[in-house]
Amino acid sequence: MTKYLVVGAGLFGATFAREAALRGHQVHVIEKLDHIAGHIYTKEIEGIQVHEYGAHIFHTSNERVWQYVQQFATFNRYTNAPIANYQGEIYNLPFNMNTFHEMWGVVTPDEARQKIEEQRRVLNGKQPENLEEQAISLIGTDIYEKLIKGYTEKQWGRKATELPPFIIRRLPVRYIYDNNYFNDKYQGIPIGGYTQIVAKMLDVPGITVEINTDFYDKRDEYLRDYDRIIFTGMIDQFFDYQLGTLGYRGLRFETQILNVDNYQGNAVVNYTDAQTPFTRIIEHKHFEFGKGNHGKTVITHEYPQTWHQGDEPYYPINDMTNNTLYKRYHELATQKAPNVVFGGRLGQYRYYNMDQVIAAALQLVDREFAED
């Protein structure tokens, strides 16, 4: 029997904790926030599950992960289909025939392809090296200017020419009339919210959980008292930033209860111009098909923020400089902290989706307990 300390009660930590406890190990979970579930935490307000740290839509093509999460919740048939509002003009997302029709009046896929082909000529056949070039190469200059540039530069706090191309490749480009934001085989929102998923994961004999508990308050004791530590916080902080600081993007959420039944007609509306200071407004009840108290709705404005040490980190900024630094921290971890495993968005410094987090935690379980 191994004594594990799991630092962070988010999806990575909870998945690992559960699987370790089910295999007879002793697991103590500590969480700095005043609740479990990390950034997938949802809370009921006015009968509506509110995503307190930004919208989370579960989607995956990984059979193992999809089967795995079914143990903890029933998923509804929600399909993400955000709307873009560019200075009052409304466009469908992701980039598909509806968007192309709204932008140019084109009707057939051939007409759309021709339009994009014309616009991408500004690249002169150059291989895209940054987000701007990647976007223009995929969908041309008009869509780039109206739906991508402003949103991206607000979201990341830097020029699209200074961002890696992979970020925009998260979004599908489709020559069919289909507003589904994701290409994955499975998609939905857990009925009853996300917090219950993590609560059920942690509800196994052998797991103890302590919230409002900061690893750094008793770091030496923890390192001494546990056989293995699964650490899901920031890897650079764990090593006292000795090799330098990794970059993160912060967020601020402004949540309001409104006395109307339906505020914006969609769960997610992106404001894609550069002037509007927020990136999107979430109307939570639409994730659950209008559930909630009559005449009430809950909306959240999402403001990207410069991240400072001590702020809640949301997105790793995976440019070359940061990725190289992360690799050096990873090597340092292998040499200096053989009994600590770093996992999740912060521990692995990756722009993970929820299913990728679970997949990574299950892979760790496979490695960790290969001989059991």
Which is closer to ligand UDP, CB of 17 or CB of 140? Answer: 140
Q: Which residues bind ligand UDP (CB under 6 A)?
A: 84, 93, 147-148, 151-152, 155, 167-168, 170-171, 270, 272
| Rounded least distance, CB 329 to ligand UDP, Å | 23
Rounded distance, CA 131 to CA 143, Å? 13
Residue 247 neighbours by CB under 8 Å, 6+ apart: 307, 316, 317, 319, 321, 322
CB of 86 to ligand UDP, least distance (A): 9
Answer positive or negative: Cα dihedral of 26, 331, 248, 83.
negative
Q: How far apart are CA 80 and CA 98, in angstroms?
A: 15
Q: What angle do CA 110, 112, 117 make, to 5 degrees?
A: 95
DSSP-derived secondary structure for 145-209: IIIIIHHHHHHHSS-GGGS-GGGGGGS-B-SSS---S---SEEE-BTT-SHHHHHHHH-STTEEE
Q: In whole angstroms, how close is the CB of 73 to ligand UDP at the nearest point?
A: 21
Which is nearer to ligand UDP, 42 or 152 (by Cβ)? 152
Q: Closest CB to ligand UDP among 3 and 159?
A: 159
**Nearer Cβ to ligand UDP, position 171 or 299?**
171
Q: Which is nearer to ligand UDP, 30 or 103 (CB)?
A: 103
Q: Which of left, alpha, beta for 26 (phi over 0: left; psi -120 to 50: alpha)?
A: beta
Shortest reach from residue 67's CB to ligand UDP, in Å: 24
In whole angstroms, the minimum distance from the beta carbon of 55 to ligand UDP comes to 7
Report the amino acid identity of residue 148: I
Query: Which two structure tokens, joined as six digits, stand for 191?
Result: 């009925």
Dihedral angle computed from the Cα positions of residues 110, 111, 114 and 115, in that order, rounded to the nearest 10 degrees: -150
State in Å, rounded, how far the first CA of the chain is from the last one: 10
Q: Minimum distance from CB of 80 to ligand UDP (Å)?
A: 9
Q: Which residue's CB is nearer to ligand UDP, number 222 or number 271?
A: 271
190 vs 202, beta carbon nearer ligand UDP: 190
| Cα distance between residue 346 and residue 370, in whole Å | 25
Closest approach of ligand UDP to the CB of residue 241, in Å: 26
Which phi and psi (to 5°) does residue 194 adopt? -90, -30
Give the nearest distance from C-beta 367 to ligand UDP in angstroms: 27
CB of 148 to ligand UDP, least distance (A): 4
Residue closer to ligand UDP by CB (options 182, 222) is: 182
CB-wise, 16 or 271, nearer to ligand UDP? Answer: 271
Q: How far is CA 3 from CA 29, 229, 290, in A?
A: 11, 9, 45
Contact present, 372 and 23 (Cβ < 8 Å): yes
CA distance 159 to 132: 9
